[in-house]
Chains A and B, each alone.
Chain A
């Protein structure tokens, strides 16, 4: 009985260590963002202090505000999500439901495009966008974000479209509805949930992107993931402000992640289940 108790306590300790390790960096950023710069710099690190929203006020409304960057991130993410969904929903429906030649190949193509290393395609993008003057523009970044958001969204949506019973479409056709009308009125309402989940993940991926943003952004369009570097420098790092910016950059994705909690495994493994038989 005693050995069992020791085993239990050991396992409890291990699991707590991991929970703590995963939560800590986030927790610590939140804590530091509520400090004054002096408290943040204190050594040994302070766990107790009088919290203040000063750092948030400074990074949002002070000089060198990151508000424009948060807005940039928002425009890029929302824009990418809208364009992606407009293209991905019809394509996913066709791949999941319609019969046409080269369907297998089309599905494989979508999957294969995901394998391209981003650093490979950023070089041509840079050259082309520079030529047409689209560096540092929203249309430039959103267009390029399609390269990763589209394949992802299409594959995630296909899995939802496949779950709808065929009978629903057949009934609609028998009633004389056109294909377009059937898709719009009958099918899409059935996959509302799947569309919502896809929107969450597409937004999340666009918000978090970094490599393309670093190369293609500039003074006009600079998302927060890139702009946060202004708060770190060799001479002086503005600790509390950096923490506040990190928290602001994390906030939307953490909220979305918790909201979409039940679907996260599906969202993370999309595409992987394919190619080796269905589920």
Chain B
């Protein structure tokens, strides 16, 4: 008898608490919705809506300079895009710029992180100085490089080139040198990022594995290849992903330094979309270019994320 009574009582409490729990859960949901609403409305208004609007605009001929022939054109802009040499060249420039800057950042950043990690003194110098480039506005960085560093016969780089017997070079006027310059500037500004992230990851690696390796008489290269690199892999992949996304949509540091020139030598896809929309005022086609950029970004990030998951 007694056992039956307790079971009944238990069930009753269970029902009551369960109900109460449901009420609580509902209240929690409502509270969450109220807290999230402002931010999500703002995000939808400033990201999702413009994205949809962009796709819509890309189906129009929308020329602010010649408004009379504007109108819905369907996929016309995308057809034009496929046969547009300037689009393909800007895509190549984007890929070269992104590939070169990311590889340089990771290699230099990693090498420097390994070097600094072994330092007994002076680490803090690196930590402080490395902050300088990354907090600066790419627009200001571009401006400083364009003038004080690279201006012919005035900039320090040119001054050094002359004194090294290379002669004065038109760093931003020559198509090849201009590309080298914008890659160098981006690498200059963002290598400290890779350096700081990798240094932090290195510092977090367990010490005892290295002890064991030393006891086993592993060489420095073996220790790097067999221990450091595999353990650091997630951090390296993360740096690659983040830097790729940024390099693909880099704008200010190229815009201020070369404006995409000379000609279209440093015109990355991003800059082409901008020039088309806001310099040539061909907004419909510019939108199609921006959509193309978005698709490229998504494809590349899909590949990178697959890389991250793969062992």
Contacts and interface: CB of A to CB of B under 8 A. Distances in A.
Tell whether A pairs with B: yes
Interface of A: 11, 14-15, 18-19, 21-26, 28-29, 32, 41, 43-45, 86-88, 90-91, 93-95, 98-101, 106, 109-110, 113, 115-128, 143-144, 146-147, 150-151, 154, 179-180, 204, 207-211, 214-215, 225-226, 228-229, 232, 237, 239, 242-243, 246, 249-250, 253-254, 256-258, 261, 264-265, 268-269, 272-273, 276
Contact of A86 (B27, B38, B135, B283): B38
Nearest to A239: B147
Contact of A269 (B35, B188, B242): B242
A25 B144 contact: yes
B137 A29 contact: no
B131 A258 contact: yes
A113 B156 CA distance: 40
Contact of B36 (A94, A144, A209): A94
Contacts of A144: 46
A211 B148 CA distance: 23
Interface stretch (B76-84, B95-103, B172-180, B272-280): B272-280
A106 to B, nearest CB: 7
Given A110-B43, A261-B127, A124 B293 contact: no
Given A98-B31, A115-B245, A119-B274, A272 B238 contact: yes
Interface string B142-158: 01111111010110100
A211 B192 contact: no
Given A86-B38, A120-B51, A211 B274 contact: yes
A43 B308 CA distance: 51
Contacts of B135: 204, 208, 253-254, 256-257, 264
Contacts of B154: 41, 43, 45
B231 interface: no
A257 B115 CA distance: 24
Contacts of B134: 257, 264, 268
A15 B139 contact: no
Interface string B228-266: 000000100010011001001101100110000000000
B197 interface: yes
A56 to B, nearest CB: 16
Contacts of B108: 18
Contact of A120 (B28, B188, B294, B309): B294
Given A41-B154, A210-B139, A268-B193, 17 more contacts: A14-B115, A15-B119, A22-B130, A109-B43, A115-B297, A120-B50, A120-B294, A121-B46, A122-B277, A126-B277, A143-B46, A147-B47, A208-B140, A226-B139, A229-B256, A261-B127, A272-B242
Interface stretch (B12-20, B65-73, B211-219, B284-292): B284-292
A260 B77 CA distance: 46
A128 B53 contact: yes
A8 to B, nearest CB: 10
Interface in B88-141: 108, 112, 115-116, 119, 122, 125-141
Contact of A99 (B28, B40, B140): B28
Nearest to B185: A25
Nearest to A275: B305
Interface class of chain B by DSSP: helix
Contacts of B238: 269, 272-273
B139 A225 contact: yes
B42 A249 contact: no
B205 interface: no
A32 B148 contact: yes
Contact of A123 (B138, B248, B290): B290
Dominant secondary structure of chain A at its interface with chain B: helix
A29 B255 CA distance: 20
Nearest to A269: B197
B242 A90 contact: no
Contacts of B291: 120
5 contacts: A25-B145, A90-B34, A90-B35, A90-B36, A94-B35
A246 B48 CA distance: 35
Contacts of A261: 127-128, 131
Contacts of B210: none
B189 to A, nearest CB: 9
A19 B159 contact: no
Given A143-B46, A204-B135, A249-B140, A28 B156 contact: yes
B277 A123 contact: yes
Contact of B301 (A99, A115, A122, A211): A115
Contacts of B45: 143
Nearest to B270: A119
A28 B148 contact: yes
Report the 4 A-B pairs with minimum CB-CB distance, sorted nearest first: A257-B135, A208-B137, A91-B39, A90-B35
